[in-house]
Amino acid sequence: MNDYVIEMLNITKTFPGIKANDNITLQLRRGEIHALLGENGAGKSTLMSVLFGLYQPDEGVIKKDGKEVKINNPNDANALHIGMVHQHFKLVEVFSVLDNIILGAEDTQAGFLKKKDARKKVMELSEKYGLKVDPDALIEDISVGMQQRVEILKMLYRDNDILILDEPTAVLTPQEIDELMEIMREFAREGKSILFITHKLNEIMAVADRCTVLRKGKYMGTVDIKDTTKEDLSRMMVGRDVSFTVEKKEKLAKEVVLEVRHVTVPSKLHKNNAVKDVSFEVRAGEIVCLAGIEGNGQTEFVQALTGLEKMSAGRIQLCGKDISKFSIRDRALAGISHIPEDRHKHGLVLDYTLEDNMVLQRYFEPAFQHAGFINKKAVRAYTDRLIEEYDIRSGQGPVTIARSMSGGNQQKAIVGREIDRGTPLLIAVQPTRGLDVGAIEYIHKQLVRVRDAGCAVLLVSLELDEVMNVSDRILIMYEGELVGEFDPKYATVQELGLYMAGARRQPQFGGKEDEVTDDE
Amino acid sequence: MNNSKTAAALKTMLAALICILAGLVIGFIVLLVLAYTGIAAKGEPFTMLDVIKTAYNDGFKQLLMGGFYLKPRAVRNEIALAAPLIMTGLSVGFAFKTGLFNIGAAGQYTVGALGALIFALIFKLPWYVCLLGAALFGAVWGAIPGFFKAYLNINEVITAIMFNWIGLYAVNTLTYMGGNSPMYNLKTTKTWPIAAKSEWSVIPDLGTTYFKKPATIAIFLAVAIALVLYVVLNKTTFGYELKACGLSKTSAKYAGINEKRNIILSMTISGALAGFGAGLYYLSGVAEWQPLVSTVLPSMGFDGISVALLASSNPIGIILSALFISHISTGGGMMNANLFPPEIADVISGVIIYLCAFLMLFRNALGRIFTRKNKGGTK
Ligand SMILES: Nc1ncnc2c1ncn2[C@@H]1O[C@H](COP(=O)(O)OP(=O)(O)OP(=O)(O)O)[C@@H](O)[C@H]1O
Ligand SMILES: [Mg+2]
């Protein structure tokens, strides 16, 4: 018997202007966790979409259990028990969790949905694997972490045993990542096979059995994890050594740029406030990180700061000016750049070209328009520069439709656009989400560069490595409140974890004195 | 330069052509059936060839030739009809581009007609002022659903449908007023012909064979406005904002674009376009308003939806699709009425429109067919 459940042999897939997959071979064993590694735009998602029937390969064959199969669409894939969680989730925002899970695989009786049975099955699965979800919540109201669990449940509900996870951990908290990896191991023990895309080498080292590496659409090789190291992997993928630490000088914090006083933001999910009476400041020349477990009010706080959401109380001061009542545009003009958490919902107009997206925050500036007419030449030149600087890869350069770009390159485009605005305050929410190690290194350098140039940076990150490496000051948010402030030089990841989980609270944030004595 | 854009545009055009072709084929089949029943009813012996000949000569030929079947008079009609159709098409298409469905073009057109009549028959102002008046009336009628949408979050479709009917009956009432309206001619039971009351309120013509009343310079005005809209949508910051709102509300909001303002502006402009279209129609003297029998909304407004769909809302495409729709409906009116009801033209354009609703699907399918062909090529 063949020990490969899935074989993708000599797959080639071309898009306008680019060979996304160039003669790639990938063999997946039964019960293994197989990582797929490669730079942004290397062709990982494309290869997986081919396996899931979303794209037809130009050349190459796919075999399931040694037999050649044609996968023309996701239904075919499903019939072969192949399931996929996409890099950008494919959920119906206004449907409930349960409806999303059963959508397309509904059991009916005389034309009526058998929702009770479905609910039972979902809850059983959720219980069994520890995938906590609220079946009746609407997708638009739940956190990305929960959306992810919904996507995984969707596959389990369909009894899939070949699971494709396209960057599942990019949106998860460290705790959630640990849980997910445990779940993946459990799947593997049950004989399910997993294809796992991630840019985080630690995760590959921790959970994968083998790893296939792609570079610019080409197959670089497949290695056994037990015979390799992180450094080997990154060299294989980028072609050079990558440094995992960020070099930076002592901070030189100057005047206060952002001052937040008693900000309170109502929640859309529950009756409580999502953000409760938050006060702090960020100075020019420092990177302040707002850390915490996802869903503890960071999102709402940032949205209140940028004007996307209304706050119910409090005051925001930017460079000495009260901007609490400003519109979104006026805040941006007053000096806020914003790398948003959700690149598809906010960061990009997906059906605009890359160049149109590059001026999303500046198209009205004199440099890019004259008497209301957009200066296409200037826009093109500007885009070309950012493409060059931030290594934004795509099929057709400035005229590529943003939707067709790889997730990481979409992110690079947004990050480049926002950093380049050069405003006094940069709000960066998960700026390196979905970026490869080389790109992360570059973006971190840029963050430090703007900070050294006197910009105040408010970083919101779930990535503890990033939090510890990049920031000058760490604020921890728990259930909408600040519970602790740390200097990364003197804090440990474990300590931060305790505060994030709500087990501790520093006295100046209303904690009891005796609780913190052992911290010193 | 923009390879992907031209490729996409080509695909869209190809899809539209396929829709048109399919519509014509289905239309021909309908004509065949009608011709068959018509001939069979005579009880004389006949062959299949006769049926085909009749279907072609008495119906399909007219349809294909449109106004050219009866040169030059019908050509002039066709042109006169195309001008307002371009405008309502632009009205719907412009709203589409900005993410709104302006089903209210019919109502805005109706109210625009009232504007044109008031400015021409009562104030007796020159034609260009009357046109602006028509646009103004339409704009107001478009702005109302815009306000409801922006500030009360009421779907523009619902408000627009209601305002269609409110508009229609308001216009009927005002143009009639129990027979006392100064715009109303008791003898003809229509509003007064513009030329009879105010010579200079009539849009001038070129006086050539094809561009003589009712084929006034209206068509050139409509084309000019389509070109302006094309530029506005594609080259200006205003168009950039409007399209961004249409494509992604959340991203537009993130970019600080004032969505409420854009919704209202976009609906106002849409309404103005439809109203302007009515001005072009009534000020060209194609027809008069009939307050007593106008119990349905003018089809011009709804045809605008078809025109916009067929052109995927591209202003330049709208010029072409409006010409096409006006071509076949003019042709439809000249078919042998004993055999074929003129509504056949509507059936055909209906079929085309339905196919256009699937245009997006077609487009994607076409893309897939192309890539598959390429694949075959490389093997
Ligand atoms: N539908 C598409 N149309 C055109 N080009 C595409 C399409 N999908 C992907 N591409 C191009 O193919 C290349 C590979 O993209 P892919 O999404 O597979 O990258 P990836 O390895 O998943 O990267 P990332 O880590 O950033 O997600 C990219 O350059 C992208 O621009
Ligand atoms: Mg990807």
Q: Please state the ipTM of this predicted complex.
A: 0.87
Give the residue among A211, A213, A205 at the shortest CA–CA distance from A229.
A205
Nearest CA in chain B to A356: B240
Sequence-distant contacts of B204-209: CB under 8 A, at least 24 apart? B204/B127, B209/B72
Same CATH topology for A4-238 and A256-515: the answer is yes
Cα(A165)–Cα(A163) distance, rounded to whole angstroms?
Answer: 6
Which pLDDT belongs to residue A148? 86
Residue A311 contacts residue A280 (beta carbons within 8 Å): no
**What total of structural domains would you count in chain B?**
1
**A210-215, strands of its sheet edge to edge:** A67-69, A59-64, A4-15, A18-29, A218-224, A210-215, A33-38, A193-197, A162-166, A82-85
Give the residue among B173, B166, B184 at the shortest CA–CA distance from B117.
B184
A329 chain-B contacts, CB cut-off 8 A: 256-258
Q: Please name the residue whose Cα sits nearest to atom 6 of ligand 1.
A: A404
Cα(A171)–Cα(A197) distance, rounded to whole angstroms?
Answer: 13
Domain region containing B140:
71-342
Asked whether A87 lines ligand 1 (CB < 6 A), one says: yes
Question: In CATH, what number is assigned to the domain containing residue B297?
Answer: 1.10.3470
C-alpha A476 chain-centroid distance: 20
Cα(A10)–Cα(A320) distance, rounded to whole angstroms?
Answer: 61
Cα(A169)–Cα(A464) distance, rounded to whole angstroms?
Answer: 13
Residue A432 contacts residue A200 (beta carbons within 8 Å): no
Residues B236, A373: C-beta atoms closer than 8 Å: yes
Decide: helix, strand or coil at residue A50.
Answer: helix
Asked whether A335 lines ligand 1 (CB < 6 A), one says: no
Q: Please name the residue whose Cα sits nearest to atom 27 of ligand 1.
A: A407
Asked whether A407 lines ligand 1 (CB < 6 A), one says: yes
Residues A56, B372: C-beta atoms closer than 8 Å: yes
Which pLDDT belongs to residue B367? 58
Q: Is residue A113 within a helix (H) or strand (E), and if so which, with residue range?
A: strand A112-113
- Please state, in angstroms and as integers, the Cα–Cα distance from residue A3 to each residue in A30, A31, A63, B179, following that order: 7, 10, 12, 90
Asked whether A38 lines ligand 1 (CB < 6 A), one says: yes
Convert the pLDDT of each residue in A345-388 to its tens digit: 999 999 999 999 999 999 999 999 999 999 999 999 999 999 99
Nearest CA in chain B to A347: B251
Look at the block and give the residue holding tokens 């900070």.
A451
Identity of the residue numbered B180: N
Cα(A489)–Cα(A477) distance, rounded to whole angstroms?
Answer: 19
Give the residue among B132, B134, B125 at the shortest CA–CA distance from B198.
B125
Look at the block and give the residue holding tokens 């703007």.
A450
Helix (DSSP H) and strand (DSSP E) numbers for chain B: 16, 2
Residue A149 contacts residue A132 (beta carbons within 8 Å): yes
Give the residue among A388, A459, A469, A456 at the shortest CA–CA distance from A424.
A456
Task: Tell me which of A55, A169, A171, A404 to substitute to probe ligand 1's pocket, judged by most ligand atoms within 8 Å of the beta carbon.
Answer: A404
Cα(B271)–Cα(A158) distance, rounded to whole angstroms?
Answer: 49
When mean pLDDT is compared across A15-24, A291-300, B367-376, the lowest value belongs to B367-376
C-alpha B64 chain-centroid distance: 19
* Residue B353 included in any domain: no
Cα(A426)–Cα(A339) distance, rounded to whole angstroms?
Answer: 8
Under the banding of pLDDT at 50, 70 and 90, the label for residue A513 is low
Mutate to test the interface with B, among A305, A310, A338, A360 (most CBs of B within 10 A): A360
Residue A337 contacts residue A423 (beta carbons within 8 Å): yes
DSSP lists the bridge partners of residue B54 as none
Within 10 Å of residue B360's Cβ, how many Cβ atoms?
12
Residues A350, B248: C-beta atoms closer than 8 Å: yes
Cα(B63)–Cα(B51) distance, rounded to whole angstroms?
Answer: 17
Give the residue among A70, A90, A65 at the shortest CA–CA distance from A155.
A90
Average pLDDT over chain A reads: 89
Residue A167 contacts residue A36 (beta carbons within 8 Å): no
The residues spanned by each domain of chain A are: 4-238, 256-515
Nearest CA in chain A to B7: A16
* Torsion of Cα atoms, A130 then A136 then A142 then A143, to 10°: 0
Cis peptide before B72 (omega within 30 of 0): yes
Name which of A338, A347, A396 is nearest B251 (Cβ-Cβ). A347
Decide: helix, strand or coil at residue B297.
Answer: coil
DSSP codes of every residue in A434-497: T--HHHHHHHHHHHHHHHHTT-EEEEEES-HHHHHHH-SEEEEEETTEEEEEE-GGG--HHHHH
Domain spanning A256-515: CATH 3.40.50.300: yes
What is chain A's alpha carbon radius of gyration, rounded to the nearest angstrom? 23
Give A239's DSSP letter.
S
Residue A37 contacts residue A211 (beta carbons within 8 Å): yes
DSSP lists the bridge partners of residue A457 as A287, A426
Angle formed by the axes of helices B3-42 and B315-332, to 10°?
10
Q: Is the model more confident about A272 or about A52?
A: A52
CATH number of A4-238: 3.40.50.300
Residue A186 contacts residue A125 (beta carbons within 8 Å): no
Cα(A135)–Cα(A237) distance, rounded to whole angstroms?
Answer: 40
Give the residue among A56, A42, A54 at the shortest CA–CA distance from A12.
A56
Terminal Cα-to-Cα distance of chain A (whole angstroms): 61
Which pLDDT belongs to residue B368? 56
Cα(B34)–Cα(B16) distance, rounded to whole angstroms?
Answer: 27
Angle formed by the axes of helices B259-283 and B73-97, to 10°?
170
Q: Is residue A194 within a helix (H) or strand (E), and if so which, with residue range?
A: strand A193-197
Q: Looking at residues A242-266, what average pLDDT do you find?
A: 86
Cα of A6 vs centre of ligand 2, distance in Å, is: 20
- Please state, in angstroms and as integers, the Cα–Cα distance from residue A2 to each residue in A70, A77, A371, A499, following that order: 19, 20, 68, 50
DSSP codes of every residue in A146-170: HHHHHHHHHHHHTT-SEEEEESGGG
Which pLDDT belongs to residue B53? 87
Q: Which residues of chain B have pLDDT under 50?
A: 1, 371-379
Percent of chain A surpassing pLDDT 70:
98
- Please state, in angstroms and as integers, the Cα–Cα distance from residue A385 to each residue in A360, A373, B83, following that order: 16, 22, 45
Cα(A41)–Cα(A37) distance, rounded to whole angstroms?
Answer: 11
* Residue B133 included in any domain: yes
φ, ψ at A191 (rounded to 5°) = 95, 5
Token pair for residue B2?
């923009």
Mutate to test the interface with A, among B12, B237, B363 (most CBs of A within 10 A): B237
Which pLDDT belongs to residue A114? 74
Percent of chain A surpassing pLDDT 90:
62
Sign of CA dihedral B67, B70, B71, B77: negative
Asked whether A46 lines ligand 1 (CB < 6 A), one says: yes
Nearest ligand to the C-alpha atom of residue A407: 1
Q: Looking at residues A126-130, what average pLDDT do you find?
A: 86
Which pLDDT belongs to residue A317? 94
- Please state, in angstroms and as integers, the Cα–Cα distance from residue B349 to each residue in A190, B20, B57, B102, B304, following that order: 59, 8, 20, 20, 12
Angle at alpha carbon of residue A323, lines to A321 and A327, rounded to 5°:
145
Convert the pLDDT of each residue in A402-418 to its tens digit: 999 998 999 999 999 99
Asked whether A438 lines ligand 1 (CB < 6 A), one says: no
Name which of B4, B236, B251 is nearest A349 (Cβ-Cβ). B251
Nearest CA in chain B to A404: B4
- Rounded to a whole number, what is the distance in Å from the CA of A270 to chain B's nearest CA? 22
Token pair for residue A357?
């997206």
Per residue, the 3-state secondary structure of B326-369, as one string, reads: HHHHHHHCCCCCCCCCCHHHHHHHHHHHHHHHCHHHHHHHHHHH
φ, ψ at B71 (rounded to 5°) = -65, 150
Cα(A130)–Cα(A46) distance, rounded to whole angstroms?
Answer: 30
Which pLDDT belongs to residue B373? 45
When mean pLDDT is compared across A12-16, A171-175, A479-483, B294-298, the lowest value belongs to A171-175
Angle at alpha carbon of residue A478, lines to A477 and A480, rounded to 5°:
80
